[in-house]
Amino acid sequence: MDSIYCIHRWPRQSSRRSMMSAQEMGQEINQEGYSYVTGLIDYGILSSTERLAADLIARRWQVSDPVISFATAIAVWADRTGHVGVDLSRIEIVLGQARRTPGNSTPANTSDVYDVDGLPPLPSAQAIRTALRSRPDIVRLLPDSPGTHAQAAADLSPLVLWRDRLYTQRQFVDERSVAEQIQARCVDAVISNRAAADAFLDTAAKALDESQRGAVEMVLSRRLTIITGGPGTGKTYTLARALGALLSAEPNLEIALCAPTGKAATRMQESIAAAIDEDFGVTAETLSALKPLTIHGLLGARGISTRFRHDAARPLRHDVVVIDEASMVSLQLTARTLEAINPNARIVLIGDPDQLSSVEAGSVLGDIADAEGSSIRASISTLSTGHRAGEAIVTLAQAIRDGDEAAVREAFANSPDRLVLVETNKSGPTNVAEHLANAIAASISARNYAVSGDGVSAHAASVSHRVLCGHRAGPAGVSDWNDYFQQSIGCTGSNYAGRPLIITQNNPVTGLVNGDTGIMISRGGRTQAWFPPRQAGSEPMEFQQVQLPPVETAFAITIHKSQGSEYRHVIVVLPPDGSPLLTRELLYTAITRAKESVTLIGTASALTKAIGTVTERGSGLIEALS
C-alpha cells in the first residue's frame, strides 16, 4: 500500500468496486483510456500497482482523459523505481530508449505520440503538460517557485507539477521538507570553548591532511556538515577528531551516531574505536561509550509505519547527530530524520555519493553534493587523499568513478598481485574455478576451525574472502555461487559447521541486526550459530539455529547487502551483458568493499557497459537547493 499512499490517503470505499482487482477496475472504468497503461504493463515496465493508482484517481476525480491516467501511473512508477518525480522533457529517456514514430517530422518533444522501443504509442511530453494543466483540481501547478513545505503538505492534490517535473504529492512534500531543512541548517554554529577544542586538535589532529583539517573545522563552525570521500580517505578518522574537539570544548554534549542499517552501525562503531588513540585523553572514554544505532532505532520506529516517535513536534534531545553511510538513506527517511533533529543541533552527514543510492526513492547525498548554492557549498567537505594501504584499489576506484575504461584496465595491469581481471563469456563459477582457489581454501579453513569449535578463527577465515554478485539468481547470481562453494567444501543443507551466515532482518530478542555475519560451528556434538562480539571486551554471541531471525548462506551475497561492510579480498561477479544492474555505481560499490585485493569476473562487454552506464535518478532536489 505504500506506493498507493504516495498519491494520497483516500477514504475507504464500501462499494463493491473497492473489492475489485486492479485489472477488473481497469476494465470497468474508462477501458479505452487505459490503453497507455496497459501497454506498458504488457511491456513489463508498469505493474498493477500503477494501474490501481490510476484507477483510484479516475474514480475519485472522474477522470476520462487517458493521458491523465498515464501521467498518474508514471508518477507512481517513478517513485517505485527510485526516482523523485519525473522530468516530462525527458520522459522518453526515463521509460527507455525512445525514438520518434517513423515518418513523423514533428520534433519528438512536441509530437503527439512516441514509439518507444516498440511500445504502443504513448503521449508526448507536450500532450502530458496540456492534460495536466487542464485539471488543476487534480494537479497542483507550480510553474516557478515550489512554495514552502507547509504549503506542499496542506495541498492535498494527488499530483504536483513543479516547472516540468511531475511528482506524487508525498514525494513533493518530502523533497520540500529536505530542501528547507538543509537550507535552514547551512549556517554558522557557535562553540563555547574554542581554545579547548584547538588544544585537543594540536595533539590529536597532527596527522590530518589539509582536506581533513578543513572537514574538522567545518564540523566545529557549521550547523550542518557533509563529509564526502572515496575509500581510504579517512572519513571516520576525521569524524573522530572532530567529535573529540567538540567534546573537549563542551564535555556534556549529547551525541547520537546512526547509520541506515544495523551492519553499517556496527561498522561505524568499529571504525570510530579504531580511530581513537592515546592523544584523545579524557574524550576517549566518552567517544568509546557511544553506541551507533540504526536511523529507525534512533527515531523510534513504530512497526511498519513510516512515522516515528520523534518528529518535529517531539524532536531528539541530542546536540550532535552523525549519520554515516548517508548515500544509502532514501528521500523519505532523510525527511523524517531532519524533521526530528533539534533545529539548534549540529548534523554531520558522511558518505560516498558515488556508491549505490538507497533502495527506495532518492539520491539525497549525491544531490546535495552536486548542488551549486553558495550556502550549501560552505557546508560540504570532500576528502580526496587516499590513506589506505591498498593503493591499487583506490586507483581502480578512481578510474571507475571517472568512467575511464582504459584507466581501469591499466590499474589491473599495473597491480596483478592485488587486482585480477577475469574476462569470460560465461560468469558461472565452474568457468573460472582456477581463480577461486584462495577463496575455496579460506572456506575450507573456516570449516575446519568451525568443526573444532573455534568460532573466532572460523569467522575470521570466512570473512577474509567474499563473493559479491549483482543478481540473486542465475549463473552470475548469489544462489549458484553459494551452491558452488558448498559443493567445493563438501557440504549441503543449512545445518553444517562452516556455513557462513548473514542476517536479513533485525531481531531485538537476539540483538542481531540486518547485515550481521556469523558462522555455524560445532559445540557439544551439535551445530550452533556464532557471531562476533559487538565491541572490544564483550563476548561473542551463540545461538541455536531455531533462535535465529531470517538468515542466508553467505559465501556470496549481493552487492547491495555488502554496503557498509569491508573484506580483505573481494570477488566481484558482474551481471550478464543485458542486465539493467550493470552500472558504474554497482561496480564502484563492489570494488570499494575490498581492503587488499579484488578479482573481477565478467565479460568484456559487461565491464564496458558497467563503466559507461551512470545511474540516473530523477530528482528536483539539486534545483531546489541551488
First to last CA, the chain: 34
Regarding whether 454 and 571 lie in a shared domain, the answer is yes
Give pLDDT tens digits for 437-488. 999 999 999 999 999 999 999 999 999 999 999 999 888 899 999 999 999 9
From the number of C-beta atoms within 10 Å of its C-beta (0-12, 13-18, 19+), residue 298 rates as buried
In a domain, 14, yes or no: yes
Give pLDDT tens digits for 205-257. 888 889 999 999 999 999 999 999 988 888 999 999 999 999 999 999 999 99
Alpha helices in 467-620 (DSSP H): 478-488, 559-562, 584-591, 604-612
- Cell output for 586: 554497482
The span from the CA of 237 to the CA of 368, in Å, is: 22
Regarding whether 204 and 311 lie in a shared domain, the answer is yes
CATH, residue 438: 3.40.50.300
Regarding whether 60 and 10 lie in a shared domain, the answer is yes
Please give the backbone phi and psi of residue 202, each rounded to the nearest 5 degrees, phi first. -60, -30
The span from the CA of 416 to the CA of 413, in Å, is: 6
Regarding whether 150 and 40 lie in a shared domain, the answer is yes
Q: What percent of the chain has pLDDT over 70?
A: 87
Give pLDDT tens digits for 256-273. 999 988 788 888 988 999
In a domain, 528, yes or no: no
Regarding whether 376 and 398 lie in a shared domain, the answer is no
Domain boundary residue among 357, 387, 417? 387
Regarding whether 401 and 365 lie in a shared domain, the answer is no
Query: Which amino acid, one-letter code, is at 130?
Result: T
In a domain, 367, yes or no: yes
- 213-234 burial, b if ≥16 CB within 10 A, otherwise e? eebbbbbbbbbbbbbbbbbbbb
Q: Per the structure, how many domains does the chain have?
A: 3
The mean predicted confidence, pLDDT, of the chain is 85
- Cell output for 275: 580511530
In a domain, 543, yes or no: no
The span from the CA of 52 to the CA of 475, in Å, is: 35
Domain boundary residue among 133, 167, 201? 167
Regarding whether 254 and 136 lie in a shared domain, the answer is no
558 touches 512 (CB < 8 A) = no
Tell me which of 139-143, 278-282, 605-609 is least confident: 278-282
**360 has which bridge partners?**
none
Distances (CA, A) of 326 to 140, 309, 532, 536, 616: 31, 21, 25, 25, 18
Regarding whether 155 and 265 lie in a shared domain, the answer is no
Is the torsion defined by CA of 486, 492, 496, 500 positive or negative?
positive
The span from the CA of 231 to the CA of 594, in Å, is: 9
Regarding whether 357 and 337 lie in a shared domain, the answer is yes
The predicted pLDDT at position 597 comes to 93
The predicted pLDDT at position 305 comes to 61
The span from the CA of 575 to the CA of 427, in Å, is: 8
Parallel, antiparallel or unpaired: strands 500-503 and 517-523: antiparallel
In a domain, 618, yes or no: no
The span from the CA of 353 to the CA of 327, in Å, is: 6
In a domain, 441, yes or no: yes
- Cell output for 20: 475489485
Longest dimension (CA), the chain: 79
Residue with cell 511491456: 43
Domain boundary residue among 387, 407, 425? 387
Please give the backbone phi and psi of residue 2, each rounded to the nearest 5 degrees, phi first. -65, -35
Residue 411 lies in domain: 391-497+554-612
In a domain, 516, yes or no: no
Give this prediction's pTM.
0.84
As a whole number, mean pLDDT of residues 480-503 equals 92
512 touches 503 (CB < 8 A) = yes
- Cell output for 625: 537547493
In a domain, 541, yes or no: no
476 touches 600 (CB < 8 A) = no
Banded pLDDT at 579 (limits 50, 70, 90): confident
The predicted pLDDT at position 590 comes to 95
Residues 6+ positions from 393 with CB-CB distance below 8 Å: 231, 232, 418, 419, 591, 592, 594, 595, 596, 597, 598
The span from the CA of 447 to the CA of 500, in Å, is: 9
Per-residue pLDDT at 30 exceeds 60? no
Per-residue pLDDT at 391 exceeds 90? no
612 touches 405 (CB < 8 A) = yes
Contacts 24+ apart (CB under 8 A), 303-311: 306/2, 306/5, 306/332, 306/336, 307/336, 308/336, 308/340, 310/340, 311/336, 311/339, 311/340
- How many Cα atoms sit within 13 Å of 357 on the Cβ side? 24
Q: What percent of the chain has pLDDT over 90?
A: 59
Regarding whether 331 and 450 lie in a shared domain, the answer is no
Bigger pLDDT: 577 vs 584: 584
CB atoms within 10 A of CB 62: 11
Regarding whether 159 and 250 lie in a shared domain, the answer is no
The span from the CA of 381 to the CA of 218, in Å, is: 8
Regarding whether 602 and 586 lie in a shared domain, the answer is yes
Distances (CA, A) of 459 to 443, 521, 530, 554, 586: 10, 9, 8, 12, 26
